[in-house]
Amino acid sequence: MEVDLSKITLRPFKLEDADDFLLFAGDDQVTNYLRWQTLSSKQEALDHIKDVCIPHPWRRSICIDNCSIGFISIFPFSGEEDRFKANVGYGVAVKYWGHGIATKALKMAVPQFFADFPDVVRLEAFIDAQNLGSQRVVEKTGFQKEGMLRKYAYMKGKLRDMFIYSFLSTDLPANP
Amino acid sequence: MEVTSVVQLDQTKAKDEYPNLSLRPLQVSDVDDFMVWASDEKVTRFCTWEPYTNKEDGLNYIKNIVVPHPWLRAICIDDRPVGAISVSANSGNDKCRGELGYVLAFKYWGKGIVTRAVMMVVETIFVEWPHLERLEALVDVENVGSQRVLEKAGFQREGVLRKYLIVKGRSRDRVMLSFLSTDYQS
């Protein structure tokens, strides 16, 4: 399958995306390193889009030909000390892995997010030590690896080592 | 970084060096001692909070934050509080993790007191909280003294988190250090 990366777009989710959403959100391989429970029905997909995706401060559908094949979420923290930081997460349908789509989408998302949230200075991503694919995505996007946090959190019931990566607003190229 | 070192705390030696150092709950009756360190801007320099300016605020802090705190102890010399040390608790998927914080009156700096207090916490917290796997501390990059305290106590430096917090209106880089329950061998 050839993928023309110039056809990748980002847009907010719509209820009409439910079937496509289920294709990736219903797949254990995609949700393996996410905190989400794998979805198992179109109703769950509809509920998730309505209750989580649409009210989310910044979640975008990754689209090819306007069809949803994945998501990017950037979630600003709340609280006086933390509100200038945001957490990054993403996932792409397995069928589309290996073409650089997540990297392309993340490279598009980062400057858009900083423009939408000018108070945020730090994006961070916590990536499972075993999730090599995702480590490559953030590294190619320009995130800096800051260290490995040992036994940092539980993910799907197992205690995980995680790499912490960051991208600061000052890391954005002057002329994008 | 490979974690292979195991900290063996030489408990007998440490007790001899600090025979009058103890940890106990901090109480409302300790407020005057509390104000000695809490009002000192040398002490609060790298803290997220401003120095206390009146005893009423100190009393409110002890009543509202200290008393219900999941784990906070006064660091005492001859049973008089000269500082405090605490471990925060998290819930859900983050329950394995607690954050260490401490503060010491300026007069007592440079004697290894906090290092000893940290070691005492490490000795007990994993036993008191069996669900705790990781004790972590986030130290300002410029706070070299505090980084040394933790390294001497056996914490591992994991990296520098850039612009991790806003402290007193400025973004600060913080060094992340951790001590795992498996790093400890009694």
List, in order, residues 6 or more apart from B169 with CB less than 8 Å away: none
Bridge partners for A155 per DSSP: A158
Give the gap in angstroms from C-alpha B179 to the nearest C-alpha of chain A: 9
Identify residue A170 by its one-letter amino acid code: T
Q: From the CB of residue B62, how many other CB atoms can be counted at a distance below 10 Å?
A: 20
Per-residue pLDDT of chain B (186 residues; tens, 9 = 90+): 444 334 444 444 455 567 699 999 999 999 999 999 999 999 999 998 999 999 999 999 999 999 999 999 999 999 999 999 999 999 999 999 999 999 999 999 999 999 999 999 999 999 999 999 999 999 999 999 999 999 999 999 999 999 999 888 899 999 999 999 999 864
Q: A56-105: per-residue pLDDT in tens?
A: 999 999 999 999 999 999 999 988 778 899 999 999 999 999 999 999 99
**In this structure, what token pair is assigned to residue B159?**
């990296």
- Interchain contact A172–B (C-beta under 8 A): no
| Residue B4: predicted pLDDT | 38
Give the gap in angstroms from C-alpha B72 to the nearest C-alpha of chain A: 21
Q: What is the ipTM of this complex?
A: 0.92
- Best CA proximity match to A13, nearest among A64, A52, A54, A46: A54
Residues of chain A found within 8 Å of residue B96, distances taken between Cβ atoms: 151-154, 159
Handedness of CA A17, A19, A23, A25 (dihedral sign): positive
| Residue A174: predicted pLDDT | 75
Higher-pLDDT residue of A36, A115: A115
- Interchain contact B164–A (C-beta under 8 A): yes
| Residue A71: predicted pLDDT | 98
Among A80, A154, A168, the residue with its CB nearest the CB of B162 is A168
- Best CA proximity match to B93, nearest among A162, A64, A39, A105: A162
CB A77 within 8 A of CB A83: yes
Residues of chain B found within 8 Å of residue A154, distances taken between Cβ atoms: 92-96
Q: Determine the average pLDDT of the residues in A155-176.
A: 91
A153, burial (CB in 10 Å: exposed 0-12, middle 13-18, buried 19+): buried
Q: What is the CA radius of gyration of chain B?
A: 16
Residue of A nearest to B97 (CA): A152
Domains defined for chain A, CATH in brackets: 5-171 (3.40.630.30)
Q: In whole angstroms, what separates CA B175 from the centre of its chain?
A: 15
Q: A17-58: per-residue pLDDT in tens?
A: 999 999 999 999 999 999 989 999 999 999 999 999 999 999
Task: Return phi, psi of residue B179, to 5°.
Answer: -135, 120
CB A52 within 8 A of CB B138: no
Is A148 close to B176, i.e. CB distance below 8 A? no
- Interchain contact A149–B (C-beta under 8 A): yes
- Interchain contact A77–B (C-beta under 8 A): no
Among B136, B141, B164, pick the best mutation site for testing chain A contact (most A Cβ within 10 A): B164
Give the gap in angstroms from C-alpha B116 to the nearest C-alpha of chain A: 24
Query: Read out DSSP for B100-160?
Result: EEEEE-GGGTTSSHHHHHHHHHHHHHHHH-TT--EEEEEEETT-HHHHHHHHHTTPEEEEE
Q: Determine the average pLDDT of the residues in A161-167.
A: 98
CATH, range B11-133: 3.40.630.30
Give me the torsion for CA of A111, A113, A114, A118, rounded to 10°.
150
Please name the residues between 27 and 56 in chain A that touch chain B, using a CB distance below 8 Å: 35
Cα distance between residue A27 and residue A94, in whole Å: 8
| Residue B9: predicted pLDDT | 45
| Residue A78: predicted pLDDT | 86
Handedness of CA A98, A99, A102, A104 (dihedral sign): positive
Give the gap in angstroms from C-alpha B29 to the nearest C-alpha of chain A: 31
Is B171 close to A84, i.e. CB distance below 8 A? yes
Residue of B nearest to A122 (CA): B163
CB A17 within 8 A of CB A49: yes
List, in order, residues 6 or more apart from B111 with CB less than 8 Å away: none
Residues of chain A found within 8 Å of residue B174, distances taken between Cβ atoms: none
- Best CA proximity match to A139, nearest among A103, A108, A86, A94: A103
**In this structure, what token pair is assigned to residue A89?**
């997460």
DSSP state of A108: H
Domain boundaries, chain B: 11-133
- Interchain contact A156–B (C-beta under 8 A): no
Residue of B nearest to A153 (CA): B94
